[in-house]
Homo-oligomer: A and B are copies of this chain.
Amino acid sequence: MITPRTPSGTLELLPHDQIAFQRMLDAIRAGYERFGFLPVQTPVFERSEVLLTKTGGETERQVYFVQSTGALEKTRGAAGEGADDGEHAAYPELALRFDLTVPLARYVAEHENELTFPFRRYQMQRVYRGERPQRGRFREFYQCDVDIIGKDQLSVRHDAECPAIIHAIFTDLAIGPFTIQINNRKLLRGFYEDLGIVDGDHQAGVLREVDKLDKRGEDYLRTTLTGEGFGLAPDVVERILEFVQVRSTGHDDALARLAAVEAASSGSAALAEGVAELREVLELVRALGVPESDYCLNFSIARGLDYYTGTVYETTLDEHPEIGSICSGGRYDNLAGQYTRSRLPGVGISIGLSRLFWQLRDAGLLDASTSSSTVQVLVPQVDAELLGDQLALASQLRQGGINTEVVLDGGKLGKQLRYADRAGIRFVAILGRQEAADGTVTLKDLRREDQFTVPRAEVVSALRVELAQPLV
Protein backbone atom coordinates (compact mmCIF):
# COMPACT_ATOMS: atom_id res chain seq x y z
CA MET A 1 0.00 0.00 0.00
CA ILE A 2 1.42 3.40 -1.07
CA THR A 3 0.67 6.48 1.05
CA PRO A 4 -1.24 8.93 -1.14
CA ARG A 5 0.62 12.24 -0.90
CA THR A 6 0.45 15.45 -2.96
CA PRO A 7 3.93 16.57 -4.06
CA SER A 8 5.22 19.32 -1.77
CA GLY A 9 5.20 22.93 -2.93
CA THR A 10 1.93 22.64 -4.87
CA LEU A 11 -1.44 24.24 -4.11
CA GLU A 12 -3.92 21.39 -4.38
CA LEU A 13 -7.38 22.47 -3.28
CA LEU A 14 -10.49 20.76 -1.99
CA PRO A 15 -13.51 21.35 -4.26
CA HIS A 16 -14.87 24.24 -2.16
CA ASP A 17 -11.63 26.18 -2.46
CA GLN A 18 -11.17 25.09 -6.06
CA ILE A 19 -14.51 26.70 -6.89
CA ALA A 20 -13.36 29.97 -5.30
CA PHE A 21 -10.06 29.70 -7.19
CA GLN A 22 -11.83 29.07 -10.51
CA ARG A 23 -14.08 32.07 -9.93
CA MET A 24 -10.97 34.22 -9.61
CA LEU A 25 -9.44 32.67 -12.74
CA ASP A 26 -12.72 33.27 -14.59
CA ALA A 27 -12.89 36.89 -13.45
CA ILE A 28 -9.32 37.54 -14.58
CA ARG A 29 -9.93 35.88 -17.93
CA ALA A 30 -13.16 37.83 -18.43
CA GLY A 31 -11.27 41.03 -17.60
CA TYR A 32 -8.51 40.28 -20.08
CA GLU A 33 -11.04 39.42 -22.79
CA ARG A 34 -13.05 42.55 -22.07
CA PHE A 35 -9.92 44.56 -22.92
CA GLY A 36 -9.61 42.78 -26.26
CA PHE A 37 -6.84 40.26 -25.54
CA LEU A 38 -6.64 36.91 -27.32
CA PRO A 39 -5.96 33.60 -25.56
CA VAL A 40 -2.70 31.70 -25.96
CA GLN A 41 -1.63 28.46 -24.34
CA THR A 42 1.83 26.99 -24.73
CA PRO A 43 3.09 23.50 -23.84
CA VAL A 44 4.14 22.99 -20.21
CA PHE A 45 7.64 22.22 -21.41
CA GLU A 46 9.97 24.00 -23.81
CA ARG A 47 13.12 22.81 -25.50
CA SER A 48 15.91 23.40 -22.96
CA GLU A 49 17.96 25.43 -25.43
CA VAL A 50 15.01 27.81 -25.85
CA LEU A 51 14.32 28.06 -22.13
CA LEU A 52 17.84 28.60 -20.89
CA THR A 53 19.06 31.36 -23.20
CA LYS A 54 17.88 34.19 -21.05
CA THR A 55 18.31 33.01 -17.53
CA GLY A 56 20.77 33.93 -14.88
CA GLY A 57 22.25 31.50 -12.38
CA GLU A 58 19.40 31.43 -9.88
CA THR A 59 16.61 30.67 -12.35
CA GLU A 60 18.67 28.06 -14.12
CA ARG A 61 19.27 26.19 -10.89
CA GLN A 62 15.52 26.14 -10.33
CA VAL A 63 14.61 24.69 -13.71
CA TYR A 64 12.83 21.32 -13.78
CA PHE A 65 14.08 19.09 -16.57
CA VAL A 66 11.85 16.48 -18.18
CA GLN A 67 12.99 13.10 -19.46
CA SER A 68 11.10 10.05 -20.59
CA THR A 69 12.08 6.70 -19.11
CA GLY A 70 13.89 5.79 -22.29
CA ALA A 71 15.99 8.96 -22.31
CA LEU A 72 16.73 8.53 -18.61
CA GLU A 73 18.00 4.99 -19.06
CA LYS A 74 20.16 6.06 -21.99
CA THR A 75 21.85 8.81 -19.94
CA ARG A 76 22.44 6.44 -17.06
CA GLY A 77 23.75 3.72 -19.30
CA ALA A 78 26.26 6.14 -20.77
CA ALA A 79 27.27 7.34 -17.31
CA GLY A 80 27.67 3.77 -16.07
CA GLU A 81 30.01 3.05 -18.95
CA GLY A 82 32.32 5.78 -17.72
CA ALA A 83 31.67 8.37 -20.41
CA ASP A 84 33.28 11.66 -19.49
CA ASP A 85 31.55 14.38 -17.53
CA GLY A 86 31.58 16.84 -20.39
CA GLU A 87 29.00 14.80 -22.28
CA HIS A 88 26.69 14.56 -19.30
CA ALA A 89 26.80 18.21 -18.57
CA ALA A 90 24.48 18.72 -21.56
CA TYR A 91 20.91 19.27 -20.37
CA PRO A 92 18.00 16.96 -21.17
CA GLU A 93 16.06 18.08 -24.25
CA LEU A 94 13.00 19.43 -22.42
CA ALA A 95 12.34 21.54 -19.34
CA LEU A 96 9.24 22.93 -17.60
CA ARG A 97 8.62 26.67 -18.18
CA PHE A 98 9.53 28.83 -15.18
CA ASP A 99 7.49 31.84 -16.34
CA LEU A 100 5.18 32.79 -19.22
CA THR A 101 7.48 35.44 -20.67
CA VAL A 102 10.02 33.13 -22.28
CA PRO A 103 7.27 30.98 -23.87
CA LEU A 104 5.62 34.19 -25.14
CA ALA A 105 8.90 35.36 -26.66
CA ARG A 106 9.38 31.97 -28.34
CA TYR A 107 5.72 31.92 -29.52
CA VAL A 108 5.82 35.41 -31.00
CA ALA A 109 9.20 34.83 -32.69
CA GLU A 110 8.10 31.45 -34.06
CA HIS A 111 4.71 32.61 -35.33
CA GLU A 112 5.75 36.18 -36.19
CA ASN A 113 4.43 36.02 -39.73
CA GLU A 114 1.08 34.59 -38.67
CA LEU A 115 0.29 37.19 -36.00
CA THR A 116 -1.10 40.73 -36.29
CA PHE A 117 0.76 43.46 -34.40
CA PRO A 118 0.22 44.99 -31.94
CA PHE A 119 -0.34 41.45 -30.70
CA ARG A 120 -2.56 41.38 -27.64
CA ARG A 121 -2.46 38.08 -25.82
CA TYR A 122 -3.40 36.74 -22.42
CA GLN A 123 -2.07 33.50 -21.00
CA MET A 124 -3.12 31.86 -17.73
CA GLN A 125 -1.17 28.74 -17.00
CA ARG A 126 1.00 27.19 -14.34
CA VAL A 127 4.76 27.65 -14.19
CA TYR A 128 7.41 25.63 -12.35
CA ARG A 129 10.35 26.43 -10.11
CA GLY A 130 12.42 23.96 -8.15
CA GLU A 131 12.35 26.11 -5.01
CA ARG A 132 13.09 24.82 -1.55
CA PRO A 133 9.64 24.15 -0.11
CA GLN A 134 8.60 26.74 2.47
CA ARG A 135 5.39 28.42 3.64
CA GLY A 136 3.83 30.41 0.80
CA ARG A 137 6.48 29.41 -1.74
CA PHE A 138 5.29 27.21 -4.55
CA ARG A 139 7.02 24.92 -7.01
CA GLU A 140 3.94 24.98 -9.23
CA PHE A 141 1.85 28.15 -9.46
CA TYR A 142 -0.50 30.00 -11.78
CA GLN A 143 0.57 33.12 -13.60
CA CYS A 144 -2.07 35.19 -15.36
CA ASP A 145 -0.25 37.37 -17.85
CA VAL A 146 -1.39 39.92 -20.38
CA ASP A 147 0.97 41.61 -22.85
CA ILE A 148 0.77 43.91 -25.84
CA ILE A 149 3.62 43.34 -28.29
CA GLY A 150 4.47 45.78 -31.07
CA LYS A 151 6.61 45.21 -34.11
CA ASP A 152 9.42 47.79 -34.40
CA GLN A 153 7.45 50.19 -32.20
CA LEU A 154 4.61 50.38 -29.72
CA SER A 155 3.04 53.66 -28.66
CA VAL A 156 3.38 54.56 -24.97
CA ARG A 157 -0.40 54.92 -25.04
CA HIS A 158 -0.56 51.15 -24.55
CA ASP A 159 1.17 51.62 -21.20
CA ALA A 160 -2.05 53.27 -20.02
CA GLU A 161 -4.09 50.16 -20.74
CA CYS A 162 -2.40 48.12 -18.00
CA PRO A 163 -3.64 50.22 -15.06
CA ALA A 164 -7.12 50.19 -16.61
CA ILE A 165 -7.04 46.38 -16.82
CA ILE A 166 -5.74 46.06 -13.26
CA HIS A 167 -8.47 48.41 -12.08
CA ALA A 168 -11.26 46.49 -13.83
CA ILE A 169 -10.09 43.08 -12.64
CA PHE A 170 -9.42 43.90 -9.00
CA THR A 171 -12.71 45.77 -8.81
CA ASP A 172 -14.44 42.59 -10.04
CA LEU A 173 -12.48 40.37 -7.66
CA ALA A 174 -13.77 42.49 -4.75
CA ILE A 175 -10.92 41.75 -2.39
CA GLY A 176 -10.84 45.27 -0.96
CA PRO A 177 -9.50 48.70 -1.95
CA PHE A 178 -6.22 48.76 -3.84
CA THR A 179 -3.78 51.25 -5.32
CA ILE A 180 -1.98 50.93 -8.65
CA GLN A 181 1.47 52.41 -8.25
CA ILE A 182 3.19 53.71 -11.33
CA ASN A 183 6.77 54.69 -12.01
CA ASN A 184 9.10 54.92 -15.02
CA ARG A 185 12.58 53.46 -15.40
CA LYS A 186 13.75 56.35 -17.62
CA LEU A 187 12.74 58.80 -14.94
CA LEU A 188 14.69 56.75 -12.39
CA ARG A 189 17.75 56.50 -14.59
CA GLY A 190 17.67 60.23 -15.33
CA PHE A 191 17.27 61.12 -11.68
CA TYR A 192 20.41 59.19 -10.74
CA GLU A 193 22.29 60.54 -13.75
CA ASP A 194 21.48 64.05 -12.57
CA LEU A 195 23.04 63.11 -9.22
CA GLY A 196 26.20 62.01 -11.00
CA ILE A 197 25.46 58.30 -10.56
CA VAL A 198 25.83 57.55 -14.25
CA ASP A 199 27.58 54.21 -14.47
CA GLY A 200 25.11 51.33 -14.90
CA ASP A 201 26.59 49.04 -12.27
CA HIS A 202 26.96 51.85 -9.78
CA GLN A 203 23.37 52.88 -10.34
CA ALA A 204 22.17 49.29 -9.98
CA GLY A 205 24.09 48.98 -6.73
CA VAL A 206 22.49 52.13 -5.33
CA LEU A 207 19.03 50.94 -6.44
CA ARG A 208 19.55 47.63 -4.69
CA GLU A 209 20.37 49.42 -1.44
CA VAL A 210 17.45 51.84 -1.83
CA ASP A 211 15.20 48.82 -2.23
CA LYS A 212 16.08 47.84 1.36
CA LEU A 213 14.64 51.11 2.74
CA ASP A 214 11.44 49.54 4.12
CA LYS A 215 13.32 46.77 5.89
CA ARG A 216 16.50 48.49 7.07
CA GLY A 217 15.37 52.12 7.55
CA GLU A 218 16.83 55.47 6.57
CA ASP A 219 19.84 55.36 8.86
CA TYR A 220 21.10 52.14 7.30
CA LEU A 221 20.83 53.79 3.91
CA ARG A 222 22.63 56.98 5.01
CA THR A 223 25.49 54.97 6.46
CA THR A 224 25.80 52.61 3.52
CA LEU A 225 25.50 55.09 0.65
CA THR A 226 27.91 57.62 2.19
CA GLY A 227 30.27 54.79 3.16
CA GLU A 228 33.23 53.34 1.34
CA GLY A 229 31.46 51.22 -1.25
CA PHE A 230 29.33 54.02 -2.69
CA GLY A 231 30.91 57.27 -1.44
CA LEU A 232 27.90 59.51 -2.07
CA ALA A 233 27.75 62.97 -0.53
CA PRO A 234 25.28 63.31 2.39
CA ASP A 235 23.07 65.81 0.51
CA VAL A 236 22.87 63.43 -2.45
CA VAL A 237 21.63 60.70 -0.12
CA GLU A 238 19.04 63.09 1.32
CA ARG A 239 17.79 63.88 -2.19
CA ILE A 240 17.50 60.14 -2.91
CA LEU A 241 15.60 59.58 0.35
CA GLU A 242 13.22 62.40 -0.47
CA PHE A 243 12.73 61.16 -4.03
CA VAL A 244 11.91 57.54 -3.25
CA GLN A 245 9.34 58.56 -0.69
CA VAL A 246 7.22 60.40 -3.23
CA ARG A 247 3.64 59.06 -3.43
CA SER A 248 1.14 61.24 -5.27
CA THR A 249 -2.27 61.78 -3.65
CA GLY A 250 -4.41 62.43 -6.72
CA HIS A 251 -4.19 63.15 -10.44
CA ASP A 252 -3.24 66.83 -10.17
CA ASP A 253 -0.78 66.08 -7.38
CA ALA A 254 0.85 63.45 -9.61
CA LEU A 255 1.27 66.00 -12.40
CA ALA A 256 2.68 68.51 -9.91
CA ARG A 257 5.19 65.94 -8.66
CA LEU A 258 6.35 65.37 -12.22
CA ALA A 259 6.71 69.11 -12.78
CA ALA A 260 8.77 69.38 -9.58
CA VAL A 261 11.08 66.55 -10.58
CA GLU A 262 11.54 68.11 -13.99
CA ALA A 263 12.25 71.53 -12.50
CA ALA A 264 14.88 70.05 -10.16
CA SER A 265 16.62 68.19 -12.99
CA SER A 266 19.99 69.36 -14.21
CA GLY A 267 18.98 68.37 -17.70
CA SER A 268 18.99 64.56 -18.07
CA ALA A 269 17.33 63.61 -21.37
CA ALA A 270 16.24 60.29 -19.84
CA LEU A 271 14.49 62.09 -16.99
CA ALA A 272 12.66 64.39 -19.40
CA GLU A 273 11.56 61.41 -21.47
CA GLY A 274 10.37 59.52 -18.40
CA VAL A 275 8.40 62.54 -17.21
CA ALA A 276 6.78 62.97 -20.64
CA GLU A 277 5.82 59.27 -20.77
CA LEU A 278 4.36 59.32 -17.27
CA ARG A 279 2.34 62.44 -18.11
CA GLU A 280 0.81 60.76 -21.14
CA VAL A 281 0.13 57.55 -19.25
CA LEU A 282 -1.56 59.40 -16.38
CA GLU A 283 -3.78 61.38 -18.78
CA LEU A 284 -4.92 58.26 -20.60
CA VAL A 285 -5.42 56.26 -17.40
CA ARG A 286 -7.83 58.99 -16.35
CA ALA A 287 -9.49 59.02 -19.79
CA LEU A 288 -9.99 55.25 -19.42
CA GLY A 289 -12.09 55.97 -16.35
CA VAL A 290 -9.80 54.80 -13.57
CA PRO A 291 -10.71 56.84 -10.45
CA GLU A 292 -7.79 58.99 -9.31
CA SER A 293 -7.97 57.51 -5.82
CA ASP A 294 -6.93 54.15 -7.27
CA TYR A 295 -3.61 55.10 -8.89
CA CYS A 296 -0.57 57.07 -7.83
CA LEU A 297 3.04 57.79 -8.67
CA ASN A 298 5.52 55.91 -6.50
CA PHE A 299 9.12 56.82 -7.30
CA SER A 300 10.51 53.94 -5.26
CA ILE A 301 9.32 51.26 -7.67
CA ALA A 302 12.06 49.81 -9.87
CA ARG A 303 11.05 46.15 -10.57
CA GLY A 304 13.52 43.80 -12.30
CA LEU A 305 16.67 45.79 -12.97
CA ASP A 306 17.52 44.27 -16.33
CA TYR A 307 14.21 43.71 -17.97
CA TYR A 308 11.98 46.77 -17.76
CA THR A 309 12.88 49.96 -19.61
CA GLY A 310 9.94 52.39 -19.23
CA THR A 311 6.68 52.41 -17.28
CA VAL A 312 6.57 50.00 -14.33
CA TYR A 313 3.60 49.00 -12.16
CA GLU A 314 2.92 47.48 -8.78
CA THR A 315 -0.45 47.07 -7.10
CA THR A 316 -1.08 46.78 -3.38
CA LEU A 317 -4.13 46.13 -1.24
CA ASP A 318 -4.67 49.25 0.89
CA GLU A 319 -5.74 47.25 3.93
CA HIS A 320 -3.15 44.49 3.49
CA PRO A 321 0.17 46.04 2.54
CA GLU A 322 1.93 43.02 4.08
CA ILE A 323 0.78 40.94 1.08
CA GLY A 324 3.04 43.02 -1.17
CA SER A 325 2.37 43.58 -4.85
CA ILE A 326 -0.60 41.60 -6.17
CA CYS A 327 -0.10 42.59 -9.83
CA SER A 328 3.12 43.90 -11.36
CA GLY A 329 4.64 44.54 -14.72
CA GLY A 330 5.96 47.14 -17.08
CA ARG A 331 7.32 48.17 -20.42
CA TYR A 332 10.26 46.38 -22.09
CA ASP A 333 12.25 47.29 -25.18
CA ASN A 334 12.63 43.96 -26.92
CA LEU A 335 10.79 40.75 -26.12
CA ALA A 336 12.58 38.15 -28.16
CA GLY A 337 16.09 39.24 -29.07
CA GLN A 338 17.36 35.69 -28.55
CA TYR A 339 15.03 34.24 -31.17
CA THR A 340 14.52 36.86 -33.87
CA ARG A 341 16.15 39.93 -35.38
CA SER A 342 12.80 41.78 -35.33
CA ARG A 343 12.52 44.34 -32.60
CA LEU A 344 9.46 43.54 -30.47
CA PRO A 345 8.79 46.13 -27.76
CA GLY A 346 5.99 45.34 -25.34
CA VAL A 347 4.17 46.13 -22.14
CA GLY A 348 2.42 43.75 -19.80
CA ILE A 349 1.36 42.74 -16.32
CA SER A 350 1.17 39.50 -14.38
CA ILE A 351 -0.99 38.22 -11.54
CA GLY A 352 0.54 35.36 -9.52
CA LEU A 353 -2.81 33.82 -8.67
CA SER A 354 -1.73 30.79 -6.61
CA ARG A 355 0.24 32.91 -4.19
CA LEU A 356 -2.45 35.61 -4.08
CA PHE A 357 -5.18 33.03 -3.40
CA TRP A 358 -3.10 31.42 -0.69
CA GLN A 359 -2.47 34.79 0.96
CA LEU A 360 -6.09 35.91 0.76
CA ARG A 361 -7.26 32.63 2.26
CA ASP A 362 -4.61 32.91 4.96
CA ALA A 363 -5.80 36.44 5.77
CA GLY A 364 -9.43 35.24 5.93
CA LEU A 365 -10.45 37.36 2.95
CA LEU A 366 -12.12 34.58 0.94
CA ASP A 367 -15.00 33.60 3.25
CA ALA A 368 -17.86 35.11 1.32
CA SER A 369 -16.90 33.74 -2.06
CA THR A 370 -16.19 30.18 -0.88
CA SER A 371 -19.57 29.58 0.66
CA SER A 372 -21.44 28.70 -2.51
CA SER A 373 -21.16 25.67 -4.75
CA THR A 374 -21.16 25.55 -8.54
CA VAL A 375 -24.22 23.31 -8.00
CA GLN A 376 -27.26 25.58 -7.87
CA VAL A 377 -30.04 23.07 -7.22
CA LEU A 378 -30.29 19.67 -5.59
CA VAL A 379 -33.14 17.38 -6.63
CA PRO A 380 -33.50 15.04 -3.66
CA GLN A 381 -35.02 11.59 -3.79
CA VAL A 382 -38.28 11.91 -1.90
CA ASP A 383 -40.01 8.80 -3.16
CA ALA A 384 -38.20 6.02 -5.05
CA GLU A 385 -41.30 5.40 -7.16
CA LEU A 386 -41.07 8.92 -8.54
CA LEU A 387 -37.49 8.42 -9.77
CA GLY A 388 -38.54 8.94 -13.40
CA ASP A 389 -40.21 12.28 -12.58
CA GLN A 390 -37.25 13.30 -10.48
CA LEU A 391 -34.87 12.66 -13.42
CA ALA A 392 -37.19 14.48 -15.84
CA LEU A 393 -37.21 17.47 -13.48
CA ALA A 394 -33.38 17.42 -13.34
CA SER A 395 -33.25 17.37 -17.16
CA GLN A 396 -35.68 20.26 -17.34
CA LEU A 397 -33.52 22.31 -14.96
CA ARG A 398 -30.31 21.46 -16.81
CA GLN A 399 -31.83 22.31 -20.16
CA GLY A 400 -32.76 25.62 -18.58
CA GLY A 401 -29.05 26.18 -17.90
CA ILE A 402 -29.27 25.52 -14.15
CA ASN A 403 -26.51 23.43 -12.55
CA THR A 404 -28.36 20.52 -10.99
CA GLU A 405 -27.35 17.54 -8.88
CA VAL A 406 -29.80 14.72 -8.50
CA VAL A 407 -29.77 12.28 -5.57
CA LEU A 408 -29.84 8.72 -6.88
CA ASP A 409 -29.06 6.80 -3.72
CA GLY A 410 -32.03 7.85 -1.59
CA GLY A 411 -31.95 8.27 2.19
CA LYS A 412 -33.97 10.50 4.50
CA LEU A 413 -34.99 13.90 3.13
CA GLY A 414 -33.60 15.67 6.20
CA LYS A 415 -30.19 14.16 5.57
CA GLN A 416 -30.32 15.17 1.91
CA LEU A 417 -31.20 18.75 2.90
CA ARG A 418 -28.33 18.87 5.39
CA TYR A 419 -25.99 17.66 2.64
CA ALA A 420 -27.16 20.47 0.33
CA ASP A 421 -26.70 23.05 3.07
CA ARG A 422 -23.20 21.89 4.01
CA ALA A 423 -22.19 21.65 0.35
CA GLY A 424 -23.24 25.26 -0.29
CA ILE A 425 -26.04 24.30 -2.70
CA ARG A 426 -28.58 27.04 -2.34
CA PHE A 427 -31.79 25.53 -3.71
CA VAL A 428 -33.56 22.22 -3.29
CA ALA A 429 -36.29 21.25 -5.79
CA ILE A 430 -38.66 18.79 -4.13
CA LEU A 431 -40.95 16.58 -6.16
CA GLY A 432 -42.97 14.38 -3.77
CA ARG A 433 -46.33 12.65 -4.17
CA GLN A 434 -48.30 15.82 -3.51
CA GLU A 435 -46.25 17.82 -6.04
CA ALA A 436 -46.52 15.02 -8.62
CA ALA A 437 -50.31 14.98 -8.20
CA ASP A 438 -50.53 18.79 -8.47
CA GLY A 439 -48.02 19.20 -11.30
CA THR A 440 -45.86 21.41 -9.07
CA VAL A 441 -42.39 21.58 -7.53
CA THR A 442 -41.54 22.89 -4.05
CA LEU A 443 -38.43 25.09 -4.06
CA LYS A 444 -36.53 25.52 -0.81
CA ASP A 445 -34.08 28.42 -0.60
CA LEU A 446 -31.62 27.21 2.04
CA ARG A 447 -29.81 30.53 2.17
CA ARG A 448 -32.90 32.63 2.82
CA GLU A 449 -34.61 29.79 4.74
CA ASP A 450 -37.67 30.25 2.59
CA GLN A 451 -39.81 27.91 0.48
CA PHE A 452 -42.48 28.20 -2.17
CA THR A 453 -44.32 26.01 -4.66
CA VAL A 454 -44.41 26.68 -8.40
CA PRO A 455 -46.07 24.97 -11.38
CA ARG A 456 -43.63 22.51 -12.92
CA ALA A 457 -43.57 24.35 -16.23
CA GLU A 458 -42.34 27.46 -14.45
CA VAL A 459 -39.59 25.99 -12.31
CA VAL A 460 -36.73 27.18 -14.55
CA SER A 461 -37.95 30.75 -14.86
CA ALA A 462 -38.72 30.93 -11.12
CA LEU A 463 -35.21 29.77 -10.23
CA ARG A 464 -33.61 32.10 -12.73
CA VAL A 465 -35.32 35.05 -11.11
CA GLU A 466 -34.09 33.92 -7.69
CA LEU A 467 -30.54 33.26 -8.87
CA ALA A 468 -30.34 36.66 -10.57
CA GLN A 469 -31.10 38.49 -7.33
CA PRO A 470 -28.02 39.24 -5.27
CA LEU A 471 -27.95 37.73 -1.80
CA VAL A 472 -27.20 40.55 0.64
Contacts and interface: CB of A to CB of B under 8 A. Distances in A.
A213 interface: no
A56 interface: no
Interface stretch (A9-17, A176-184, A187-195, A325-333): A9-17
Interface in A352-406: 373-375, 378, 387-388, 391-392, 394-395, 398-399, 401-406
Interface residues of A, number: 113
Contacts of A130: 68-71
A414 interface: no
Interface stretch (A110-118, A220-228, A233-241, A249-257): A110-118
B336 A4 contact: yes
B6 A374 contact: no
Contacts of A75: 76
A235 B332 CA distance: 77
A287 B43 CA distance: 42
A121 B82 CA distance: 50
A459 B253 CA distance: 34
Nearest to A341: B1
A42 interface: yes
Given A12-B43, A79-B80, A65 B61 contact: no
A395 B107 contact: no
A258 B307 CA distance: 69
Interface in A3-26: 3-7, 10, 12-15, 18-19, 22
Contact of A88 (B5, B80, B161, B374): B80
A244 interface: no
Contacts of A3: 339
B39 A374 contact: yes
Given A287-B388, A288-B394, A4 B109 contact: yes
Interface in A32-52: 33-36, 38-47, 49-50
A387 B287 CA distance: 9
Contact of A69 (B65, B109, B155, B399): B65
Q: Which of A19, A121, A374 has the most CB of B within 10 A?
A: A374
Contacts of A61: 68-70
Given A35-B398, A164-B395, A409-B118, A67 B69 contact: no
A264 interface: no
A392 B61 CA distance: 47
